[in-house]
């Protein structure tokens, strides 16, 4: 009765506001809307959740587990270095030529990282879990494990792969390959440590 005879332009906004506040439908709709909006924001950053209920459970997470390869580190992206007397141009050619014939991802990385000419390769043999051998311009060359290349086993630093080199029957040194950490991962892991226990799978 209070609104009888009053301007309808004033009545409808007030009535609508009262219905929205008093009706439980608004509360029922607010949670799905919030979850859906959160999933859209995460999706824009490449993080996709199985369902909306995961959003609510995220508030109770106490442990975060990272898979190193391809998650914290970039796929097929290494920092390569050589331990031993520097290889001359002919030796680089021999190593690169043999590495080109290998299907192993570490040999492929050695091939991509080295620059120079390629030589004629013959008698190629690849042993699973050991390495590859062949003759490059008539010189026997081996790439692979320390034992395969006639060298004593070296201490392996966690997260670092090695490819030993033997030329002409003599061990010449080894390549070390470190996975490159993806941009922004240090900040992401640091933030996770502040909220939960963190673990790394290698």
- Which residues does the annotation mark as catalytic? 67
Q: What whole-number distance in Å separates Cα of residue 84 and Cα of residue 112?
A: 20
Q: What whole-number distance in Å separates Cα of residue 200 and Cα of residue 66?
A: 5
Structure tokens at 109: 């990385």
Structure tokens at 193: 């440590």
Please give the DSSP secondary-structure letter assigned to residue 69. I
User: What dihedral angle (degrees, nearest 10) is formed by the CA atoms of 100, 105, 110, 112?
Assistant: 70
Q: What whole-number distance in Å separates Cα of residue 87 and Cα of residue 94?
A: 10
CB 88 within 8 A of CB 144: no
């Amino acid at each position: 009765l209070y609104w009888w005879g009053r301007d309808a332009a004033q009545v409808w906004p007030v009535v609508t506001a009262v219905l929205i506040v008093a009706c439980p439908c608004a509360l029922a709709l607010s949670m799905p809307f919030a979850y859906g909006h959160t999933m859209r924001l995460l999706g824009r950053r490449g993080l996709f959740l199985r369902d909306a209920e995961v959003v609510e459970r995220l508030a109770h997470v106490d442990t975060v587990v990272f898979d190193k390869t391809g998650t914290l580190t970039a796929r097929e992206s290494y920092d390569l270095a050589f331990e031993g007397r520097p290889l001359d141009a002919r030796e680089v050619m021999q190593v690169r030529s043999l590495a080109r014939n290998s299907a192993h991802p570490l040999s492929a990385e050695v091939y991509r990282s080295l620059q120079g000419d390629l030589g004629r390769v013959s008698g190629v043999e690849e042993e699973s879990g050991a390495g590859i051998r062949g003759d490059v311009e008539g010189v026997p060359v081996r790439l692979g494990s320390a034992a395969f290349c006639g060298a004593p086993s070296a201490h392996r630093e966690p997260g670092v792969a090695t490819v030993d080199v033997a030329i002409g029957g003599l061990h010449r040194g080894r390549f070390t390959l470190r996975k490159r950490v993806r941009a922004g991962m240090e900040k992401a892991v640091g933030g996770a440590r502040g909220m939960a226990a963190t673990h790394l799978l290698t």
